[in-house]
Amino acid sequence: MELFDTFKFSVVDIIDVILVAFLLYYFYKLVKGTVAINIFIGIVIIYLIFKVTQALQMTLFSSILGGF
C-alpha cells in the first residue's frame, strides 16, 4: 500500500472529478457533428503550442501566438 499512501482522496475530490467528466461529456455531445468541434480543436492546439513555446522560452513565437 506504499503506492497509495501519497494520494489523499476525499469525497469532495471524487465528486469534483465526476462533475468535470459530466461537463466535458455534455459539451462533447453538444458540439459533436458540428463545425464547432473543429474550431474548438484548433483553439486547443494553438493554446498547447503557445504553452510549449513559453516553456521553451521562444520569445518571438510566443509573442506571435500571444496575439491571438
What pLDDT digit, counting tens, does each position of 10-19 carry?
888 888 889 9
Structural domain includes residue 22:
yes
Number of domains in the chain: 1
Structural domain includes residue 1:
no
pLDDT of amino acid 21? 92
Place of cell 462533475: 19
Q: Three-state SS for 68?
A: coil
Structural domain includes residue 3:
no
Structural domain includes residue 4:
no
Half-sphere exposure of 37 (CA within 13 A, CB side): 11
Structural domain includes residue 23:
yes
pLDDT tens by residue, 2-50 = 666 667 778 888 888 899 999 989 988 888 888 888 888 888 898 898 8
Which residue segment(s) compose the domain that 57 sits in? 9-66
Structural domain includes residue 39:
yes
Identify the DSSP state of 6: S
Structural domain includes residue 2:
no
Whether 26 and 19 have beta carbons less than 8 Å apart is answered as no
